Amino acid sequence: MDIILRIYFRDIKNIVTNWVALVIILALVGLPSLYAWFNIKASWDPYGNTKGIAVAVSNLDQGTVLRGKSVNIGNQVVQSLKQNKKLGWTFVSEDAALDGVKHGTYYASITIPKDFSEKIISVLNANPKKPVIVYTVNEKINAVAPKITSSGASGVVDQISKNFVKTASESIFTIFHEIGVELERDLPTIERVKELIFKIEADIPQINRFVNIALDDATKAQIIVGNAKKNLPKVQEIAGNGIELTNHLSQFLSKSDDTLHKIEPSIKENIIFLSEIANNSRGIAARLQDHSASKEEIAKAIDNLQSGVNIADTLNKILTQLDGVSGRQEMGPIRQRVTTVMNQFQQEINLLNNLGMDVNKGQTISNNPIQKINQLSSASTNILNGLVANFDTVIVPKVKHSINIAKESVRDASEVLGQVNKDLPTIKKLLNDASQGATIGINEVSTIKKELPVAEVQIKKIAKRIRDFEKKENIHDIISLLKHDVQKESNFFKEPVLLKERQLYHIPNYGSAMSPFFTTLSLWVGAMLLISLLTVEVGGSELKSYQIFFGRYLTFLTLGLLQSLLVTIGDIYLLHAFVLEKLWFILFGLWNSVVFITIVYTFVSVFGNIGKSIGIVLLVLQISGSGGTFPIQVTPAFFQLLNPFLPFTYSISLMREAVGGILWDIAQRDVMILCIFLFLSFLIGIFLKRPINHLTRKFVQKAEESKLIH
């Protein structure tokens, strides 16, 4: 031990007494600090000074028109970027931007195309198109700048998207607000409709009673028509009596006058009934179109249309007979319309027969015949509605005119007899038709009576749903929800989720965060400088290898500790780098220096110049594989595999603990692993120095003969 200390103190004395050696030693102590400080300061806050990164912006947007207003979203983007100081936005033409990016004047460019506003507004159309912002970057200029400019471009797109979402949601909630206002205004009407449904529900028994009365009245009407048909033979008998004809003629005319007056409402009723049949055909067409019509409904519709054909035919005959009574053709245009309706009904019957066959066979129903039925029904309805509308002003006067002509004709006895004999079959036919009409009326009322229970069930269901809704929901709450503040709602949808960032072990700037890496790196570089300029050999053949090893090792260790003190204290007090645990930062730096000096010194002491090469190789590998700059997970697999076996991995981690806040389990792990590196280095230095030096002596001598390598 005395010899080791003697070697150490002799080295210190030689340094102090030789001013050249002292200057060199001071330089060796100071150079690693400069290496660390320059690198830390250069990377102090690169992401906070991005406003110097020039990015060209070219706005080609021609705008568009929305609801009569000119809109240019490209101009809005430009105005927004002028307020954005994160990057050096420069607004130029498209050609100038492209040329500037090529020549490095700008790191990147953003081009807003001429159809930008048009495509954004296209969201209101059936086929919306996404707008595109063209981002051009020159990746040759710098490795990091493209990432920064890309982030800026993404920010522009993100801001546009957020503003679009805010505007769209604002429009939607404005509509909701208007609906809420209208709903609140129409609330009395809604309440009246609700009360009406409840009233219908309460009046259903009375409606059933009225339907029964109507059925009874229709049955009585059929009986009356039957009695009239029975009395026709008596009228015929009266007409056959020659002498008594004139005595009874006036009485017959009076009765005939009443009968003829009943023709007017009968004609109108028949026309209205035909109109109802035409409307029912449109209903069956709608049910066929949604495939909900059954075979029975089709058959029933055919029967109704056939009844309509019969009634139309009878009506035509009545009109023909009226023309016959008057001797004129005043009913001709009306007959033509009724004939048209009758033909259209017959066409609908044919189409429904064919569709019924398709339904029976389970075949798919084509839309063409259904559309044809709709067209025919609509045409028939229009004709019949026209007849009903003109009945009192056109048809009734013509009927009355025909009746008056009949009266005048009957005044002559012989003509009266002929006219009576002629009109008796017609009257009989009218009674038959009336009987058929009464039968149809009975059938329809019976159908209503049959369907009324179904309607009753539906009304009760609706009333029940209203009551259930009132139990579970409050329409006033719904109105209140719809009338929420539009701006607050749209702002929520613009940014529905906020990011609350929690920074553990906060480090205020990038330079401070990089100080563990550059400080550690400078200590290794300092160790390499020492072994490059200072010799590890000690004169004296009588000295043992371990004495030489530890004697000169203490000298190197002292210089390494001085390097560490200078660089760590300078980081804290000269650069003012953020360090939470200042004392531990200095102590961990000293420990790292002990480990690095030991490793590098051992390699050179044992292997000579080859050891220097090993130190340089380790330096290169540790810069790439220690995870000092980028997360090790983003590096190639080779470096990830190498990472656990490198001293830098644990030295940098230890320094980071002091900078951000110490977790002692991590710090203890790092110290223990570095102890293993230290222990292995000592083993190599103690047991391998003499045998390896003996083996490499001839190699070293040969190298020295070159006069280039010492």
Least confident of 49-58, 112-121, 326-335, 620-629: 326-335
Q: For residue 12, which phi and psi values (nearest 5 degrees)?
A: -65, -40
Helices (H), 327-412: 332-361, 367-389, 396-410
Quick check: helix, strand or coil at residue 506?
coil
Q: What value does the mean pLDDT take over residues 495-505? A: 67
Cα–Cα distances in Å, from 602 out to 73, 531, 552, 608, 680?
68, 10, 11, 9, 10
For 1-17, b/e burial (b = at least 16 CB within 10 A) is eebbeebbeebeeebee
- Residue 70: Cβ within 10 Å count: 9
- pLDDT of 204 over the 70 cut: yes
- pLDDT of 502 over the 70 cut: yes
- pLDDT of 423 over the 50 cut: yes
- pLDDT of 409 over the 60 cut: no
Distance CA 297, CA 183 (A): 40
Long-range contacts made by residues 165-169, C-beta under 8 angstroms, separation at least 24? 165/493, 165/494, 166/490, 166/491, 166/493, 166/494, 167/490, 168/123, 169/489, 169/490, 169/493, 169/494
- Residue 496: Cβ within 10 Å count: 9
- Residue 468: Cβ within 10 Å count: 10
Q: How confident is the model at residue 246 (pLDDT cuts 50, 70, 90)?
A: very low
Q: For residue 629, which phi and psi values (nearest 5 degrees)?
A: -105, -55
Q: For residue 497, which phi and psi values (nearest 5 degrees)?
A: -125, 125
The partner residues of 111 in beta bridges, in order of sequence, read 58, 134
Helices (H), 186-294: 187-240, 242-289
Distance CA 33, CA 12 (A): 22
Residues 6+ apart with CB under 8 A from 371: none
**pLDDT computed for residue 351 by the predictor:** 81
Q: What value does the mean pLDDT take over residues 319-345? A: 77
- Residue 168: Cβ within 10 Å count: 15
Distance CA 146, CA 86 (A): 14
End-to-end CA distance of the chain: 30
**pLDDT computed for residue 710 by the predictor:** 52
Q: How confident is the model at residue 259 (pLDDT cuts 50, 70, 90)?
A: low
- pLDDT of 341 over the 60 cut: yes
- pLDDT of 28 over the 70 cut: yes
Q: At what angle do helices 145-185 and 73-82 cross, to 10 degrees?
A: 120
Highest-confidence segment of 103-107, 208-212, 276-280: 103-107
**pLDDT computed for residue 665 by the predictor:** 94
Q: How confident is the model at residue 529 (pLDDT cuts 50, 70, 90)?
A: very high
Name the residue with tokens 């009322």. Answer: 445
Contact 519, 655 (CB under 8 A): yes
What is the sign of the dihedral through the CA atoms of 344, 350, 356 and 359? Answer: negative
Percent of the chain scoring above 90 in pLDDT: 19
Tell me the per-residue pLDDT of 532-566, one tens digit each, with 9 for 90 and over: 888 777 765 577 777 878 888 899 999 999 999 99
DSSP 519-567: HHHHHHHHHHHHHHHS----S-TTS-HHHHHHHHHHHHHHHHHHHHHHH
**pLDDT computed for residue 304 by the predictor:** 81
Higher per-residue confidence, 487 vs 57: 57
Highest-confidence segment of 113-127, 624-638, 654-668: 654-668
Contact 123, 172 (CB under 8 A): no
Highest-confidence segment of 264-278, 471-485, 679-693: 679-693
Listed in order, strand segments (DSSP E) in 3-62 are: 54-59
Distance CA 520, CA 513 (A): 13
3-state helix/strand/coil string of 613-680: HHHHHHHHHHHHHCCCCCCHHHCCHHHHHHHHHCHHHHHHHHHHHHHHCCCHHHHHHHHHHHHHHHHH
Q: Taking all residues of the chain, what is their mean pLDDT, rounded to a whole number?
A: 77
Distance CA 297, CA 289 (A): 13
Least confident of 79-83, 213-217, 224-228, 517-521: 224-228
Helix, strand, coil percentages in the chain from 3-state DSSP, rounded to 5:
80, 5, 15
Quick check: helix, strand or coil at residue 412?
coil
Distance CA 398, CA 221 (A): 27
| Second-level CATH architecture of 53-178 | 3-Layer(aba) Sandwich (3.40)
Highest-confidence segment of 314-318, 322-326, 448-452: 314-318
Listed in order, strand segments (DSSP E) in 119-191 are: 134-137
Distance CA 356, CA 360 (A): 6
Task: Name the token pair of 3.
Answer: 């010899």
Q: What value does the mean pLDDT take over residues 228-252? A: 56
Question: Position 451: which residue type?
Answer: E
Least confident of 236-245, 337-346, 576-585, 646-655: 236-245
Q: What one-character DSSP code corresponds to residue 54? A: E
Q: For residue 498, which phi and psi values (nearest 5 degrees)?
A: -100, 140
Contact 173, 486 (CB under 8 A): yes
Is residue 687 within a helix (H) or strand (E), and if so which, with residue range?
helix 664-704
User: What's the pTM value of the predicted model, to 2 decimals?
Assistant: 0.54
Quick check: helix, strand or coil at residue 136?
strand
Task: Name the token pair of 391.
Answer: 């009945």
Q: How many CA atoms lie within 13 A of 75 on its CB side?
A: 6
Q: How confident is the model at residue 704 (pLDDT cuts 50, 70, 90)?
A: low
Long-range contacts made by residues 297-305, C-beta under 8 angstroms, separation at least 24? 298/352, 298/355, 298/356, 298/359, 299/356, 301/352, 302/349, 302/352, 302/353, 302/356, 304/277, 304/280, 305/277, 305/281, 305/345, 305/346, 305/348, 305/349, 305/352
**pLDDT computed for residue 632 by the predictor:** 85
Tell me the per-residue pLDDT of 115-158, one tens digit each, with 9 for 90 and over: 888 887 776 676 778 888 888 888 877 666 676 666 665 666 66
**pLDDT computed for residue 243 by the predictor:** 46
Q: What value does the mean pLDDT take over residues 227-245? A: 59
Distance CA 399, CA 456 (A): 43
Contact 409, 420 (CB under 8 A): no
**pLDDT computed for residue 686 by the predictor:** 83
Closest of 525, 522, 536 to residue 575, by C-alpha: 522
- Residue 199: Cβ within 10 Å count: 10
Least confident of 29-43, 115-129, 587-601: 115-129
Highest-confidence segment of 63-72, 160-169, 501-510, 660-669: 660-669
Per domain, the residue ranges of the chain are 2-42+506-704, 53-178
- pLDDT of 589 over the 70 cut: yes
**pLDDT computed for residue 675 by the predictor:** 96
**pLDDT computed for residue 562 by the predictor:** 96
Task: Name the token pair of 292.
Answer: 């909900």
**pLDDT computed for residue 253 by the predictor:** 45
Highest-confidence segment of 191-195, 647-651, 702-706: 647-651
- pLDDT of 59 over the 70 cut: yes
Distance CA 531, CA 540 (A): 20
Rounded to 5°, the CA angle 541-543-545 comes to 105
3-state helix/strand/coil string of 264-284: HHHHHHHHHHHHHHHHHHHHH
